[in-house]
Structure 1
Amino acid sequence: MSLNTVVLMGRLTADPELRRTPNGVSVTTFTIAVERTYTPHGQERQTDFIEIVAWRNTAEFVCKHFSKGKMIALSGSIQTRPYEDKEGRKRKAFEILADNVSFCGDRASAPAQPSPTVLYEPPVSFSQGASDDFRVVDDNEDLPF
């Protein structure tokens, strides 16, 4: 089993632009600036600039409601894709595929008209489990995995 989930909050570095594939599917790519939580003593807080890709309704939602400097919260997954740079060298791009996008920050940065804070939320199939699904592991016994 593998897990590929990313949750980020940051500010857009530029206005997102809506594009369409030859088949008419909406897509946008944009970058958000995300501050790191750890700051080395005596240094300024560092910021990572992360590429985001959103498709279909999520792309349209982002382009309609967000602009440069606005705070955005999103969840999605990391995806990679190979490409060749201008010198013909093989490279790999890392991007976040946004599934859920939300407003965040102060009220002044939110749109005036009421709208849902989450555009799309996929169904979740996690279960809480029962207390008898667990057992106490004695410090003296070998771990069960």
Structure 2
Amino acid sequence: MASRGVNKVILLGRLGAEPDIRYLPNNGGKVVAIRLATSEVWKDQAKAKQEHTEWHRLVFFKKLADTAEQYLHKGCKIYIEGSLRTQQWDKNGEKRYRTEVVVRELQMLDRADENGAPRHSSQSSTPPTEANDAGLDEDFDDIPFF
């Protein structure tokens, strides 16, 4: 075990945006990117409730990309397993980086409606709105897909 590492991520949270669907160049297939919010709640020393929301960029490929495009929507509660990947690229001579989770397994946790599509619970219709204020890019055009 000492000669190899482990790169595994497990997250449970709600989607903060609709899926962003792209296609890899040279018929490389579909890529779906989406933001996932996870939250922590704790009490500080003064017994006051504190909460922190962390935003994660998820990337789906192949059949999981088709599933994500069809069934995942803003506010859906999901469980994923995957691995971390960091991309690096230049924009106007400036190095940029992005760490994302490449999803390998997906479980949709909202109950399905009669058509099989996930139905949002009453609390999931308004997920955290900090996605746009958390320094996340709304425009993925400058990011290469590898």
Q: TM-score, normalised by structure 1?
A: 0.67
Higher RCO (CA-CA < 8 Å; seq separation 6+): 2
SS in 2 for 1:61: helix
Task: Tell me if structure 2 keeps the 8 A contact 1:6–1:75.
Answer: yes
**Match in the other structure for 2:99:** 94
Q: 1:113 to 1:9 in 2, by over 3 A?
A: same
Task: Tell me if structure 2 keeps the 8 A contact 1:16–1:30.
Answer: yes
Q: 1:18 to 1:112 in 2, by over 3 A?
A: farther
Same amino acid, percent of matched pairs: 26
CA distance in 1, matches of 2:9, 2:98: 16
Tell me how large the CA RMSD over aligned residues is: 2.0
Q: Does 1:3 align with 2:6?
A: yes
**Match in the other structure for 1:32:** 36
- Per-residue CA deviations over 1:17-66 (Å, capped at 9, x if unaligned) read 33222315011111001113x52512431000100111011011011111
**Match in the other structure for 1:62:** 68
User: Segments of 4+ in structure 1 off by > 3 A?
Assistant: 111-115
Task: Tell me if structure 2 keeps the 8 A contact 1:18–1:60.
Answer: no
Q: Does 1:12 align with 2:29?
A: no
**Match in the other structure for 1:104:** 109
Q: Which structure has the bigger radius of gyration?
A: 1
Unmatched tracts of structure 1, length 5 or more:
116-145
CA distance in 1, matches of 2:89, 2:43: 34
Q: 1:84 to 1:112 in 2, by over 3 A?
A: farther
Q: How many residues align?
A: 110
